Amino acid sequence: MGGALALGIVLWRMSYLQGSRFNDATLMRPKGLLSDFDPTPVAYSRRLLFDAMILCDELGRMPPGRSIYDLGTPTTGRSRGWTKAGNSHEHRQAQTVSNRKCWFGGCFRIMTTLVKHLQLLLLTTLFREHQSLLDLDGITNYGPTEESLNRMDPKGQNYDFIIVGAGSAGSVLANRLSENERWKVLLLEAGETEISLQQIPILCGYFQLLSRFNWGYKVEPQENACLSMIDRQCSWPRGKTLGGTSTINYMIHTRGVKADYDNWAALGNEGWSYDDVLPYFKKSEKFNISGTNKQGTQSISKHDTLINSPHSYPSGFHNTSYHGYKGYLCVERAPYHTDLARAWLKAGQELGYDIIDYNGNEQIGFSYLQLNIDKGTRCSASKAYLRIDRRNLNIVTNARVVKLLVDKDTRRAYGVEYVKHGQRNRVYCTKEVILSAGTIDSAKLLMLSGIGPEEHLRELGIKVVRDSKVGYNMYEHIGFLGLTFLVNETVSLVQSRVTRPNVALEYLLRRNGMMTIPGGAEAVAFLRTKYATDSNADVELLFTSGAVSSDGGIPLKKAMRITDELYDTVYKPIEEKDTWAVWPIVQYPKSVGRLTLKSKDPFVPPRMDPNFYSHPYDLELVLEGLKLAMNISRTESFQRYGSKLHDIKFPGCASHEFATDDYWRCAIKHLPSIMNHEIGTCKMGPESDPDAVVDPRLKVHGVRGLRVVDASVMPTMPRGHVNAGIFMIAEKAADMIKEDWK
C-alpha cells in the first residue's frame, strides 16, 4: 500500500508540479474529486492523484467542523470557499491545530482510499507500451461527440423545438426530433458532460456526493420519516449533467405492471394503456440478456443452471414479444454476481417462487436485476441517445433555463430565458418548447413562468398566466434501508475487497467482476403481502450484497445524510464484516406530497414536502415486506452462510424491544430508503380532470406550444423503478410531436 501511494505521489509530482507549488489560484475553485482527465491509463492515474492532493491541501484550510464532503457546498462568501467567521488570533491558532489533525487524518484517508481505487491504474503503467490489452471502450466513449456539443451560440436564434433538460426524456427527444433534417432542435442542459468514472457501476453512489453532478436537493424536514438523517431531511439526488439522473442512479430497469398503465388509460388518458405503451418500451430497448435468442426460443431452461451460472436466465425469458433489440438503450445484466445473489434466487425457489423476467408477462417472483449497462459500463441516456452528430441538433451545456417565454395575450410559449456564464440570454422557437427538466424542475419552471396555483403565485408576486395544479400529486417510492444480515464467509462486497488490484484489473481487462455491480444492488423480488388488492406485487425487496457499512461510510452515509449517531452506533462496528441487506419498498404509495416555490428567484431551490409515511398504509406495508425478507434470511440457502440479523438497536428506537413490530416501525421512520423516483407534479389527465396539468398528448392545458415530457406527467406511480417509464414516455411523445407537426 505504501509503495503504491509513494509511486502515485511521485508520478503526480513528475507529471504535474514540475517543481512548482500550489497557489491560491490553483485552489480557488477545485473541480472536485473526479474532474475531467485524459482517459489513457497513465493520465487517468495522474489526474485523480492530482485531484486528491488538491483536496488534501484544501482540507488543511477547512474550518473546524467542516468535512471533505462540504466541498462544493455553498457557504457564506464564495461558493467554494470557507466563511471568515471567527478570525481572531485565538480562533486561528485553534483552527491550525484542528486542521493539522484534520489534514493528517483526513488527507491520509482520502489518499489511501483513492489509491486503493487507483492501484489498478498505477499497475496499468506497466502496460503503457501494450495499451491494446486494455478495454477502455465504454469508459472513454460516452455522450455526444465534441463536434455536436455547443455547436453554436443559440442566443437570439430561432429553433423549431427547444428542449429544456438533457436527462432521460430530453436525450430521447433530442435524438428522435432531430431525425427530421428539416427541424432545427436545441437541447439546453444546465450541467456539463458526464465523465469517465461515471461509467463504472460500482462507483455510482459517489457521484451523488458531488455538486458538479447532482443538484443536491433535500426534502423539507419530515415528521414521520428521515428521523436519523441530518436535520430530518432526506436527500433527493437529481443529475445535473448530460444524461441527467441516469448518470448517477443505480441503473435499474423496471417497467411496472400492465395494471399500472391500464389505470392511466382508465383515468381518461387515451393512448396510455399497457397495450399502447408496450411498443415504446420495446422501441427504446437494446435487450441483451442470455436465456433467449431473437427468435424467442429458449437457450437455458433449468433453474439450477441459472443459479450456478450467472450469465444465463431461465424460461421466464422465452417470450421476446415483451422485448426490443434495435433501440438505443442497453438492457443487460451485470456480468458478475456474488454467491449471496445466487443464494437470493435459490431462497426464492425454496419458498415456492419462480425466477422471472419481471419486464415480461409475470411480475411475482425473484430475479437478478436488469440494468442499463453496456458490457459492464453504465448506459446513461446521454451515452445511449446523444452519441450522434447531426447538423440540425445543437446541444448546449452549462445553460440553465430560468423562465419560459409565454405571450400573455395569446398564451403561447415562444422561447426561453437561460443563464450561461452568468449572462442572461433568450432563444426563440417557432413550434414548441418542451420541458424535460424532471419532476422537480419542470414544475418549478412552470410556476416561475406563471403557470401554477394562482394563490401561491400571487403570494410570491408572480404574474399568473394559467391557474393550474402544478406541484401537487407528488409521489415517491419509499422503504427501509436498515435491514442488515451478517454472514460468516467472505462472500459479500466490502470496500477492502472491491478495491483490490486484481478486482480492478479484471474490470479494465475484461469488463467483469465486482466493479460491474451497481452500488452493490444485485437482485430483486416482487411479492404480494396481505395488503395486496389485486394479483400484482405490492412490495419490492431490493437485495444488496453489502450494507450501509460496506463502503466504510463513503458514500452511502454521506449521500443519504445519515447522522453520525446512527452510523457510529449501528454500522461502524460492522464496517469490515460480510453482510447483505434488503430494502423493502412500497410499490403503490398512498402518502402524497407537494412541491412549491420558496421564492421567485430561479436560483432558490423549491420547497419539496413529500409527506413520507403520512399515510399509515405505507408504513405497514414496509413492515410486511420486512417480515418477508426475514423469512428469506431463514432459508437453507442463506443459513449455509450463517445469516444472522444485525441486532444493534437504532439509538432513536432504544425504548422498544428489538425486532418487535413497534421497534421496526420506529426504525423504518428513522432510516427510510428514498428511491429518487419522484413523479406526478405535472399530472397528465383530460381537461375534465381539475388536477391535470397536461393533456394525454402532454400539452400543457391552456397554453399553446408547450409540452412537458418527463416523470412529472405520470398520474400515478408505476411499480418498480421509474426510469424505464421515462424513456417510454419520451419515445411516445416524440411520435406524437411528429404526428402533430406533419
List residues with catalytic annotation.
Answer: 677
CA 714/CA 571 separation, integer angstroms:
37
Where would I find the H helices in 394-480? 438-448, 454-459
- Residue 475 CA: distances (Å) to CA of 588, 608, 630, 676: 9, 11, 27, 10
List Cβ neighbours of 105 (8 Å cut-off, separation of 6 or more): none
* Cell numbers that stand for 274 in this block: 399497457
Instruction: Decide: helix, strand or coil at residue 378.
Output: strand
By C-alpha distance, which of 414, 407, 410, 411 is closest to 433?
Answer: 414
Residue indicated by cell numbers 411523445: 733
Residue type, 470: V
Specify which residues 378 forms β-bridges with. Answer: 373
CA 612/CA 586 separation, integer angstroms:
11
* Cell numbers that stand for 192 in this block: 456539463
Task: Give kind and range of the element (H or E) at residue 296.
Answer: none
* Cell numbers that stand for 34 in this block: 473526479
CA 149/CA 193 separation, integer angstroms:
9
By C-alpha distance, which of 605, 684, 218, 234 is closest to 447?
Answer: 605
What is the 3 state secondary structure string of 584-600? EEECCCCCCEEEECCCC
* Cell numbers that stand for 263 in this block: 389505470
By CB atoms closer than 10 A (0-12, 13-18, 19+), residue 251 is buried
Residue indicated by cell numbers 441483451: 288
Does 555 sit behind a cis peptide bond, omega within 30 degrees of 0 on the bond before it?
A: yes
List Cβ neighbours of 13 (8 Å cut-off, separation of 6 or more): none
CA 559/CA 233 separation, integer angstroms:
12
Specify which residues 432 forms β-bridges with. Answer: 161
